Structure 1
Amino acid sequence: MSANKIKLSVLDQSPIRKGATAAQAIQETVQLAKLTDTLGYTRFWVSEHHNMGIIAGSTPEVLLAHLAGETKNMRMGSGGIMMPNHSTLKVAENFRMLEALFPGRIDLGMGRAPGTDRITAAALNPSNQFSEQDFVEQLADLQSYFHDTYEPGTIQARIRAIPQVKTVPDMWLLSSSGQSGLFAAHFGMGFSFAHFINPNGGPENVKMYRDRFQPSDDLAEAKANVAIFVFCSEDPEKVRRHIAVMNHRFLQFEKGGPIVPLSYDDVKDVEYTPAEQERLRANNYRVIAGSPTELKLKLTWLANDYGVDEIMVVTITEDFEDRLESYRLLAQQFELV
């Protein structure tokens, strides 16, 4: 895969920078969507997380309605809707409404994880059993709601997802393991591998998805992409500082303690144990950071390794202007416009 054939897209979590507010984080997501829409990015996905002090994105179905109205070119979607938190019918109605408002531009990316801790997940959906079978049934029900294909005479056939519209959002399953890839293959959906969560086994899981893909009414051929943390800068010092902050943030998550916004000054003097240093080395594969020319080579290699033509870029920075500039530099390197 040559660099000029690689499509770039955005996965944004509305990260809350140190000293900023959640409201500011949401407005920064809006600004980023407007910018990347003009730069030639393919799609813009927003995430669903709950009860996390560093992420403001909790309701992608709400945020998407605003973002799609503020943009013109990109596909807009969820990355993703965490299905166990929701009624399948309500998800179908939310995304049929989005399709009615923005036909042909909506992606429904879905995940099996709750996007939060178990206690919060139970509060979101007290009947959540974290069952694989429940998830599979949700996917089947969702396709039936979108296509009005419940078997006549059944109770389900008496229920319609409103509004009734002719178009259907593109459906994707998001995962950091191969299991959802198998589900995506079975149901004929797109598959997005979260390399930024798990840097191991991704190419093999994407290949397994392609090998087992069964065409659906919505997708005739397998379609996959890969999502990874990225930071692009012409300043080597900014790159070094970015990696230091990301490394510490990864350890925060792994230890399960309080997750708070970080600055480089918070982490610059931290000394890590040998065990922590081993985790830092492993987590380095979740991030690609460097100069524009370095990023072009590394991201092209990543796309070739996965056998995909699209990379979902996740960028979190201390300074919002650095986040915008990173996306600008990538667009120039990959000649998106």
Structure 2
Amino acid sequence: MSIPIGILDQSPRFAGETAEDAFRHTIELAQIAEELGYQRFWVSEHHDSANVSGSSPEVLISYLLAKTKKITIGSGGVMLQHYSPYKVAENFNVLSTLAPGRVELGIGRAPGGLPRSTRALQGENGSSTLSLTDKITETRNYIYNRIADDHALAGIQVSPNPAQPADLFVLGASTNSAEVAAKLGLPYVFSQFINGDEEVALTAVKAYREQFVPSIEYPKPHVILALSVIVAETEEEASQLAGENLSVKIHLESGKVLTVGTVEQAEEFGRQSAEKYRIEVKEAKVVKGSPTSVYQQLATIRHQYGIQELVVHTVIQNFNKRVRSFELLQQAFVHAEVEASLEV
């Protein structure tokens, strides 16, 4: 593929399906993605959800690595606010030792669940006093064994110490997350499938590039756009399939805005937060159409944002049609490459 493309799968559980069905589909999809030549396959982290089964990405990653041969497997992402950077580094160093060069650690800043699951994850003492930026820095320093001499835990190492540590990415859907990635000199993944506001996306990407501080691993900014994509044989079928996708946001009185899966989840989040809230429901922003149409749309988006890579998230209840969407997307890019080579 001329544009490196990855897949984000959330192990969705649709009506009539079990968690076993959801994971079986994720495993099969990772294997298909590898056969089709996709760049990477990421899995997500969600808690206390009846609609999404993937609550432990590092565990699922280990299984997917064992069930595939060469595709890169990663998290999209680990919700680091809940966890010890040291333990996250240990988990991903184990994975990187088992599958050298095939592991990626995407770090998210959303809670990944309802307020009660956040309380359950963080315990009675609540979240760490460290900011997310500090936690990412700690995680990176542990992974690369760069603990400073004046650090409170100077001399500590993460075991094992892989020859090829996991690559780190910062995931987000706001300018704040873009600024965190820029400050740390890490690749930035803007989740447009969560925040479909084009102006926010463009502003975030611009801020990331302007504020980027070069790092050892990344001397230049590196932007990936994660977006919803649905490809079908015809425009009409793609539109019909995309009709299943809604964007549901909850606006809390404190100013926080979160994207959730359903209106019911938004209502439950509001109840558990003990804050006044309002719910916003609208049609999700989805790149949809025939293979040729989607390729043209993605080429325009790539030029508009100046991005290096894409990650696609496809929500279609019928698993076979979801697989077909990924097949058609890959075929569209291969066809475009062949045509381009003939014109040279």
For 2:119 and 2:249, the matched residues in 1 are separated by 25
Say whether 1:114 aligns with 2:111: yes
3-state DSSP of counterpart to 2:131: helix
Match of 2:195 in 1: 198
3-state DSSP of counterpart to 1:122: helix
CA 1:5–1:203 in structure 2 vs 1: closer, same or farther (change >3 Å)?
Answer: farther
Match of 1:221 in 2: 220
3-state DSSP of counterpart to 2:230: strand
Is the 2:222–2:308 Cα contact (8 Å) retained in structure 1? no
Aligned residues: 314
Amino acid at match of 2:167: D
Match of 2:341 in 1: none
3-state DSSP of counterpart to 1:77: strand
Match of 1:257 in 2: 264
Say whether 1:159 aligns with 2:156: yes
Is the 1:228–1:313 Cα contact (8 Å) retained in structure 2? yes
3-state DSSP of counterpart to 1:5: coil
Is the 2:44–2:57 Cα contact (8 Å) retained in structure 1? yes
For 1:325 and 1:318, the matched residues in 2 are separated by 12
Of Structure 1 and Structure 2, which has the larger fraction of its residues in helix? 1
3-state DSSP of counterpart to 1:150: coil
Match of 2:269 in 1: none
Say whether 1:125 aligns with 2:122: yes
Amino acid at match of 2:210: D
Amino acid at match of 1:223: H
* Worse-superposed segment, 286-295 or 318-327: 286-295
CA 1:290–1:249 in structure 2 vs 1: closer, same or farther (change >3 Å)?
Answer: farther
Match of 2:340 in 1: none
Q: Highest relative contact order (Cα 8 Å, sep 6+), 1 or 2?
A: 1
CA 1:253–1:84 in structure 2 vs 1: closer, same or farther (change >3 Å)?
Answer: closer
Is the 1:84–1:114 Cα contact (8 Å) retained in structure 2? yes
State percent identity of aligned pairs.
33
Which residues in structure 2 correspond to 1:55-94 (within 5 Å)? 55-94=52-91
Select which of 39, 43, 48 maps to 1:46.
43
Match of 2:175 in 1: 178
CA 1:249–1:84 in structure 2 vs 1: closer, same or farther (change >3 Å)?
Answer: closer
Is the 1:14–1:26 Cα contact (8 Å) retained in structure 2? yes
Amino acid at match of 1:71: T
Is the 1:84–1:128 Cα contact (8 Å) retained in structure 2? no
Select which of 2, 6, 12 maps to 2:3.
6
Match of 1:244 in 2: 243
Is the 1:233–1:292 Cα contact (8 Å) retained in structure 2? yes
- How far the C-alpha of 1:279 sits from its partner, in A, is 4.6
For 1:288 and 1:6, the matched residues in 2 are separated by 16
Q: Gapped runs of 5+ residues in structure 1?
A: 260-274
- How far the C-alpha of 1:249 sits from its partner, in A, is 6.9
Runs of 4+ in 1 over 3 A off after TM superposition: 127-131, 235-238, 248-256
CA 1:187–1:315 in structure 2 vs 1: closer, same or farther (change >3 Å)?
Answer: same
Is the 1:225–1:311 Cα contact (8 Å) retained in structure 2? yes
For 1:258 and 1:171, the matched residues in 2 are separated by 30
- How far the C-alpha of 1:318 sits from its partner, in A, is 1.6
Say whether 1:310 aligns with 2:309: yes
TM-score relative to the length of structure 2: 0.84
Amino acid at match of 1:177: S
TM-score relative to the length of structure 1: 0.86
Match of 1:264 in 2: none
Is the 2:248–2:262 Cα contact (8 Å) retained in structure 1? no
Is the 1:231–1:326 Cα contact (8 Å) retained in structure 2? yes
Of Structure 1 and Structure 2, which has the larger fraction of its residues in strand? 2
- How far the C-alpha of 1:152 sits from its partner, in A, is 2.4
For 1:214 and 1:95, the matched residues in 2 are separated by 25
After superposition, the CA RMSD in angstroms is: 2.4
Which residues in structure 2 correspond to 1:133-144 (within 5 Å)? 133-144=130-141
